[in-house]
């Protein structure tokens, strides 16, 4: 049973560029959440997608956008990259129908470096 798959694993971009990160959720999961984890810090919630719509958003600027496809996979897009966007981006999948469970599964993340 494949877990959460994220691609690419590493990425180097230049300031001002745009980047797209991808996530395939665990089989049976239909909700995808994205987190940003700066070096030495805890992950910060970016947004969550369910039924191809953004359901909740954290304190991130509009430069961060996302998409969810009919097969539940998701993309995270970041425009006009800043040096401060350098971080590990984690994707987590879950099933919303199971309340207060611990059904979050995380991927290994995409490490983005902005130079």
Partner 1 sequence: AQKITQTQPGMFVQEKEAVTLDCTYDTSDPSYGLFWYKQPSSGEMIFLIYQGSYDQQNATEGRYSLNFQKARKSANLVISASQLGDSAMYFCAMRLNRGSGNTGKLIFGQGTTLQVKP
Name residues whose C-beta falls within 8 Å of residue 27's C-beta, 6 or more positions apart in sequence.
1, 2
Among 20, 22, 50, 75, binds partner 1 (CB under 8 A): 50
Count CB atoms within 10 A of the CB of residue 75: 17
- CA distances from residue 6 to 15, 93, 104, 113 in whole angstroms, order as listed: 23, 11, 15, 16
Contact letters (x/-) for partner 1, 86-105, by CB under 8 A?
--x-x-x-x-x--xxxx-xx
Q: How far is the CB of 16 from partner 1 (least distance, A)?
A: 26
Task: Single out the residue of 50, 51, 36, 40 nearest to residue 81, CA to CA.
Answer: 36
Contact letters (x/-) for partner 1, 66-85, by CB under 8 A?
--------------------
Q: How far is the CB of 103 from partner 1 (least distance, A)?
A: 9
Q: Residue count at the site for partner 1 (CB under 8 A)? A: 30
């Amino acid at each position: 049973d494949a877990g959460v798959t994220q691609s690419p694993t590493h990425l180097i971009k230049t300031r001002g560029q745009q980047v797209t990160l991808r996530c395939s959720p665990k089989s049976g999961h239909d909700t995808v959440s994205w987190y940003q984890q700066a070096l030495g810090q805890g992950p910060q919630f970016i947004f969550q997608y369910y039924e191809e719509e953004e359901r909740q958003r954290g304190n991130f600027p509009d430069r961060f956008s996302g998409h969810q496809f009919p097969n539940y996979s998701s993309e995270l897009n970041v425009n006009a990259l800043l040096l401060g966007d350098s971080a590990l981006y984690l994707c987590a999948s879950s099933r919303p129908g199971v309340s207060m469970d611990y059904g979050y599964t995380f991927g290994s993340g995409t490490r983005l470096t902005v130079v």
